[in-house]
Chain A
Amino acid sequence: MNSVKKWYDNEDLGKDILISSRVRLARNLKDYPFSMLLNKDQARDMISEIIDIFEEGMSSGKLNYMSADNTSDIDELANFEQNNISQYFLLNKNPKGFFINESESLSIMLNEEDHIRIQSICAGDDINNAFILSDNVDNVISSKIDYAFDDDFGFLTSCPTNVGTGLRASFMLHLPMLEKSGQLKNLVQIISKFGMTVRGWHGEGTEPMGSLYQVSNQITLGKSERDIIKNLRNVTQQIIDQELKLRENILKDDNNKIDFEDKIYRSFGILSNCKKIGTRETMNLLSDVMLGNCMGFDVNKFKINIYKMMMYIQPGLLQKNLGCKLKEQERDIERAKFIKSML
Chain B
Amino acid sequence: MLCQNCNENQATVFVHRIINGQERELHLCEECAKQFGMQLSFDELFQGFLDGFLSHNHRQSFGSENLIKTRVCDKCGFSYDDFKNSGKLGCGECYKVFHDDLLLVLKNIQGSVKHIGKVPVKNIAKVSFENKIARLENDLRRAINEEKYEDAARIRDEIKKIREAGNLNE
How long is the Cα–Cα vector from A222 to B106 in the complex, in angstroms?
A: 10
Q: Answer yes or no: A161 CB below 8 A from chain B CBs.
A: yes
Take A149-B119, A149-B123, A225-B118 as given contacts and tell me if A33 and B112 are in contact as well, using a CB distance cutoff of 8 Å.
Answer: no
Determine how close the nearest CB of chain B comes to the CB of A166; give it in whole angstroms.
9
Among B14-22, B86-94, B145-153, the stretch in contact with A: B86-94
How long is the Cα–Cα vector from A154 to B123 in the complex, in angstroms?
A: 11
Collect the chain A residues with CB atoms within 8 Å of residue B122's CB. 142-147
Q: Answer yes or no: A224 CB below 8 A from chain B CBs.
A: yes
Q: Contact check: which of B113, B115, B123 meets A165 at CB < 8 Å?
A: B115
Per-residue contact bits, chain A 28-52, to B (CB 8 Å; 1 contact, 0 not): 1010111011000000000000000
Collect the chain B residues with CB atoms within 8 Å of residue A156's CB. 89, 92, 95
Take A33-B75, A37-B76, A149-B120 as given contacts and tell me if A223 and B112 are in contact as well, using a CB distance cutoff of 8 Å.
Answer: yes
How long is the Cα–Cα vector from A226 to B117 in the complex, in angstroms?
A: 8
Q: Answer yes or no: A57 CB below 8 A from chain B CBs.
A: no
Q: Contact check: which of B92, B96, B110, B119 meets A220 at CB < 8 Å?
A: B110
Q: Answer yes or no: B105 CB below 8 A from chain A CBs.
A: yes
Chain A, Cβ-Cβ closest to B77: A37
User: A37 and B115: CB pair below 8 A?
Assistant: no
User: A148 and B117: CB pair below 8 A?
Assistant: no
Collect the chain B residues with CB atoms within 8 Å of residue A219's CB. 110-112
How long is the Cα–Cα vector from A165 to B86 in the complex, in angstroms?
A: 22
Q: Answer yes or no: B121 CB below 8 A from chain A CBs.
A: yes
Q: Contact check: which of B89, B118, B120 meets A160 at CB < 8 Å?
A: B89
Q: Answer yes or no: B36 CB below 8 A from chain A CBs.
A: no
How long is the Cα–Cα vector from A146 to B91 in the complex, in angstroms?
A: 14
Q: Answer yes or no: B116 CB below 8 A from chain A CBs.
A: yes
Q: Answer yes or no: A262 CB below 8 A from chain B CBs.
A: no
User: A165 and B109: CB pair below 8 A?
Assistant: no
Collect the chain B residues with CB atoms within 8 Å of residue A167's CB. 117
How long is the Cα–Cα vector from A150 to B120 in the complex, in angstroms?
A: 10
How long is the Cα–Cα vector from A123 to B111 in the complex, in angstroms?
A: 32
- How many residues on A have C-beta within 8 angstroms of the other chain's C-beta atoms? 43
Q: Contact check: which of A34, A155, A224 meets B89 at CB < 8 Å?
A: A34
User: B76 and A225: CB pair below 8 A?
Assistant: no
Q: Answer yes or no: B49 CB below 8 A from chain A CBs.
A: no
Determine how close the nearest CB of chain B comes to the CB of A112; give it in whole angstroms.
13
Q: Answer yes or no: B114 CB below 8 A from chain A CBs.
A: yes
Collect the chain A residues with CB atoms within 8 Å of residue B125's CB. 143
User: A223 and B117: CB pair below 8 A?
Assistant: yes
User: A148 and B91: CB pair below 8 A?
Assistant: yes
User: A222 and B111: CB pair below 8 A?
Assistant: yes
User: A221 and B88: CB pair below 8 A?
Assistant: no
Q: Which of A158, A167, A195, A227 has the most CB of B within 10 A?
A: A158
User: A160 and B109: CB pair below 8 A?
Assistant: yes
Take A143-B122, A146-B122, A160-B106 as given contacts and tell me if A152 and B111 are in contact as well, using a CB distance cutoff of 8 Å.
Answer: no
Collect the chain A residues with CB atoms within 8 Å of residue B95's CB. 150, 153, 156, 163
User: B110 and A221: CB pair below 8 A?
Assistant: yes
Which positions 131-177 of chain A face chain B at CB distance < 8 Å? Answer: 135, 138-139, 142-156, 158-161, 163-165, 167
Collect the chain A residues with CB atoms within 8 Å of residue B111's CB. 195, 219, 221-222
| Sample of 15 A–B contacts (CB below 8 Å) | A33-B78, A36-B86, A37-B78, A135-B118, A142-B123, A150-B96, A155-B115, A155-B118, A155-B120, A156-B89, A156-B92, A156-B95, A158-B88, A160-B105, A160-B109
A-B pairs, 10 with minimum CB distance: A222-B112, A154-B115, A148-B92, A142-B120, A143-B121, A221-B110, A33-B76, A33-B91, A224-B117, A156-B92
Report B's interface with A, CB cutoff 8 A: 75-78, 86-92, 95-96, 102, 105-106, 109-123, 125
With A150-B95, A158-B89 known, 8 other A-B pairs at CB within 8 A are A34-B88, A34-B91, A152-B113, A159-B89, A160-B109, A219-B110, A223-B116, A223-B117
